[in-house]
Homo-oligomer: A and B are copies of this chain.
Amino acid sequence: MPTSFKGTKVEQEALNTFVKLLRAADTLSALTHRHLAAKKLTVSQFGVLETLHHLGPLCQAEVAKKNLKSTANMTTVIDNLEKRGLVERHRNDTDRRYITLHLTTAGKNLIEELFPIHVQGIVDRLDILTPQEQQQLGQLCKKLGTGQQN
């Protein structure tokens, strides 16, 4: 026998918003990353390439932080990118704990080819919202994500 959720109004509203937010993010992510399959790239691999493309060479811990992932995870994802010759690991000589990641030429070419397609996919999907609505959505998400008033 199904039990439908009986909570206070506040609880129902919060739960409702929560579910919609997570579903929207899931759906949007799936749609905007579909094109990666053609290049046999995963979302995480694309994220690393994108980070290096926009911020330049970084150490693994920083890439992990930008992508909200653990350093253990970065080891795996970068292993796979390295196997395909898309990134290179350079041990830092002044502080040997660090490994600086660099895009190879192949990696640079690939991300430069994919990124415009990626952006276009996002623009197309977000086109359903007016510029004001996008602005609003961004602000609400920022507030919620950081837990700060602004």
Could you say which of A16, A20, A141, A148 has the most chain B C-beta atoms within 10 Å of its C-beta? A141
User: Number of contact residues on A: which range applies?
Assistant: 35 or more
| A27 interfacial by beta-carbon distance below 8 Å | yes
Tell me how many chains of this kind the complex includes: 2
Cβ contact within 8 Å between A14 and B140: no
| A55 interfacial by beta-carbon distance below 8 Å | yes
Cβ contact within 8 Å between A137 and B144: yes
Extra inter-chain contacts (18) besides given A20-B137, A125-B147, CB under 8 Å:
A2-B55, A3-B56, A14-B134, A17-B138, A18-B28, A20-B141, A21-B21, A21-B24, A21-B28, A21-B138, A24-B141, A26-B68, A26-B145, A27-B68, A27-B146, A28-B144, A128-B148, A137-B140
